[in-house]
Amino acid sequence: MTIKPGDRLPDATFMTMGAEGPAPVTTQDLCQGKTVALFAVPGAYTPTCSAKHLPGFVEKASQLKAKGVDTIACTSVNDVFVMSAWGKDQNAGEGVLMLADGNGDFAKAVGLTMDGSKFGMGTRSQRYAMIIKDGVVLDLFVEEPGDFKVSSADYLLEKL
Protein backbone atom coordinates (compact mmCIF):
# COMPACT_ATOMS: atom_id res chain seq x y z
CA MET A 1 0.00 0.00 0.00
CA THR A 2 1.32 3.44 -0.93
CA ILE A 3 1.88 5.98 1.83
CA LYS A 4 -0.47 8.96 1.74
CA PRO A 5 -0.85 12.35 3.40
CA GLY A 6 -1.67 11.92 7.08
CA ASP A 7 0.38 8.73 7.39
CA ARG A 8 3.44 8.50 9.61
CA LEU A 9 6.66 7.49 7.86
CA PRO A 10 7.59 3.88 8.54
CA ASP A 11 10.69 3.10 10.57
CA ALA A 12 13.57 2.74 8.13
CA THR A 13 17.29 3.32 8.09
CA PHE A 14 19.17 5.13 5.35
CA MET A 15 22.93 5.46 5.02
CA THR A 16 24.74 8.75 4.57
CA MET A 17 28.41 9.61 4.35
CA GLY A 18 29.64 11.11 7.59
CA ALA A 19 33.04 12.42 8.63
CA GLU A 20 34.03 8.92 9.79
CA GLY A 21 32.53 7.09 6.79
CA PRO A 22 29.09 5.55 6.21
CA ALA A 23 26.63 6.33 8.99
CA PRO A 24 23.00 5.31 9.55
CA VAL A 25 20.17 7.85 9.61
CA THR A 26 16.77 6.61 10.73
CA THR A 27 13.49 8.16 9.67
CA GLN A 28 13.13 9.29 13.27
CA ASP A 29 16.57 10.98 13.17
CA LEU A 30 15.60 12.67 9.92
CA CYS A 31 12.15 13.90 10.91
CA GLN A 32 11.78 14.32 14.66
CA GLY A 33 10.73 17.89 15.37
CA LYS A 34 11.45 18.99 11.80
CA THR A 35 9.79 19.86 8.52
CA VAL A 36 11.47 17.83 5.79
CA ALA A 37 11.30 18.05 2.01
CA LEU A 38 12.19 14.52 0.91
CA PHE A 39 12.51 13.71 -2.76
CA ALA A 40 13.31 10.42 -4.42
CA VAL A 41 14.94 9.68 -7.73
CA PRO A 42 15.17 6.41 -9.67
CA GLY A 43 18.95 6.59 -9.77
CA ALA A 44 21.98 8.73 -9.10
CA TYR A 45 23.73 9.92 -12.24
CA THR A 46 20.70 9.18 -14.42
CA PRO A 47 19.78 11.90 -16.96
CA THR A 48 16.73 13.66 -15.47
CA CYS A 49 17.96 13.14 -11.92
CA SER A 50 21.33 14.76 -12.66
CA ALA A 51 20.22 17.45 -15.11
CA LYS A 52 17.07 18.66 -13.35
CA HIS A 53 15.88 16.98 -10.17
CA LEU A 54 18.81 17.24 -7.73
CA PRO A 55 20.15 20.51 -9.24
CA GLY A 56 16.75 22.15 -8.71
CA PHE A 57 16.81 21.36 -5.00
CA VAL A 58 20.43 22.48 -4.67
CA GLU A 59 19.57 25.77 -6.39
CA LYS A 60 16.33 26.36 -4.44
CA ALA A 61 17.52 25.15 -1.00
CA SER A 62 17.57 28.60 0.59
CA GLN A 63 14.10 29.40 -0.76
CA LEU A 64 12.68 26.12 0.59
CA LYS A 65 14.28 26.78 3.97
CA ALA A 66 12.86 30.32 3.97
CA LYS A 67 9.40 28.71 3.64
CA GLY A 68 9.91 26.59 6.77
CA VAL A 69 11.73 23.50 5.53
CA ASP A 70 14.39 22.45 8.05
CA THR A 71 15.95 19.63 6.02
CA ILE A 72 16.03 18.84 2.31
CA ALA A 73 16.87 15.21 1.61
CA CYS A 74 17.36 13.17 -1.54
CA THR A 75 16.96 9.40 -1.52
CA SER A 76 17.65 6.77 -4.13
CA VAL A 77 18.10 3.02 -4.30
CA ASN A 78 21.87 3.38 -4.61
CA ASP A 79 24.67 2.66 -2.17
CA VAL A 80 26.09 5.29 0.17
CA PHE A 81 29.31 5.68 -1.84
CA VAL A 82 27.42 6.44 -5.06
CA MET A 83 25.07 8.87 -3.28
CA SER A 84 28.01 10.63 -1.64
CA ALA A 85 29.93 10.97 -4.90
CA TRP A 86 26.84 12.15 -6.77
CA GLY A 87 26.14 14.75 -4.07
CA LYS A 88 29.71 16.05 -4.38
CA ASP A 89 29.49 16.12 -8.19
CA GLN A 90 26.22 18.07 -7.94
CA ASN A 91 27.48 20.49 -5.25
CA ALA A 92 24.75 19.38 -2.85
CA GLY A 93 26.99 20.36 0.09
CA GLU A 94 25.08 21.05 3.29
CA GLY A 95 21.96 22.10 1.36
CA VAL A 96 20.72 18.62 0.44
CA LEU A 97 21.24 15.54 2.60
CA MET A 98 22.03 12.53 0.42
CA LEU A 99 20.33 9.38 1.74
CA ALA A 100 21.20 5.96 0.36
CA ASP A 101 18.36 3.41 0.37
CA GLY A 102 20.73 0.75 -0.91
CA ASN A 103 18.42 -2.23 -0.52
CA GLY A 104 15.27 -0.28 -1.37
CA ASP A 105 13.82 -0.93 2.08
CA PHE A 106 12.39 2.58 2.44
CA ALA A 107 11.02 2.63 -1.12
CA LYS A 108 9.27 -0.69 -0.45
CA ALA A 109 8.00 0.42 2.97
CA VAL A 110 6.31 3.51 1.52
CA GLY A 111 4.99 1.54 -1.48
CA LEU A 112 6.77 3.69 -4.06
CA THR A 113 8.92 1.25 -6.02
CA MET A 114 9.21 0.80 -9.76
CA ASP A 115 10.58 -1.99 -11.89
CA GLY A 116 13.66 -0.71 -13.68
CA SER A 117 14.82 -4.16 -14.82
CA LYS A 118 14.09 -3.25 -18.45
CA PHE A 119 17.01 -0.82 -18.09
CA GLY A 120 19.20 -3.15 -15.99
CA MET A 121 18.40 -1.24 -12.80
CA GLY A 122 16.24 -3.74 -10.89
CA THR A 123 13.77 -2.46 -8.32
CA ARG A 124 14.13 1.28 -7.82
CA SER A 125 12.23 4.14 -6.25
CA GLN A 126 9.63 6.02 -8.17
CA ARG A 127 10.25 9.73 -8.69
CA TYR A 128 8.36 11.70 -6.02
CA ALA A 129 8.60 14.42 -3.41
CA MET A 130 6.93 14.73 -0.04
CA ILE A 131 6.66 17.27 2.72
CA ILE A 132 6.94 15.69 6.16
CA LYS A 133 6.32 17.36 9.51
CA ASP A 134 7.56 15.56 12.61
CA GLY A 135 7.37 12.21 10.81
CA VAL A 136 3.90 12.69 9.29
CA VAL A 137 3.42 13.11 5.55
CA LEU A 138 1.68 16.42 4.84
CA ASP A 139 1.89 16.31 1.04
CA LEU A 140 2.97 13.66 -1.46
CA PHE A 141 3.62 14.31 -5.14
CA VAL A 142 4.28 11.19 -7.23
CA GLU A 143 5.31 11.51 -10.86
CA GLU A 144 3.71 9.57 -13.66
CA PRO A 145 6.27 7.29 -15.37
CA GLY A 146 8.63 9.37 -17.49
CA ASP A 147 7.39 12.72 -16.11
CA PHE A 148 9.20 15.39 -14.14
CA LYS A 149 6.67 17.97 -12.96
CA VAL A 150 5.20 17.53 -9.48
CA SER A 151 8.36 16.41 -7.68
CA SER A 152 10.47 19.42 -8.62
CA ALA A 153 11.78 22.02 -6.19
CA ASP A 154 9.78 24.69 -8.03
CA TYR A 155 6.55 22.72 -7.58
CA LEU A 156 7.21 22.23 -3.87
CA LEU A 157 7.88 25.94 -3.48
CA GLU A 158 4.46 26.65 -5.01
CA LYS A 159 2.78 24.23 -2.58
CA LEU A 160 4.46 25.46 0.61
Enumerate the active-site residues.
49
Alpha helices in the chain (DSSP H): 27-31, 47-48, 54-66, 80-89, 105-109, 153-159
Rg for the chain (alpha carbons), in Å? 14
d(CA 149, CA 142): 9
d(CA 117, CA 104): 14
d(CA 20, CA 39): 25
Question: Is residue 136 within 8 Å of 43, Cβ to Cβ?
Answer: no
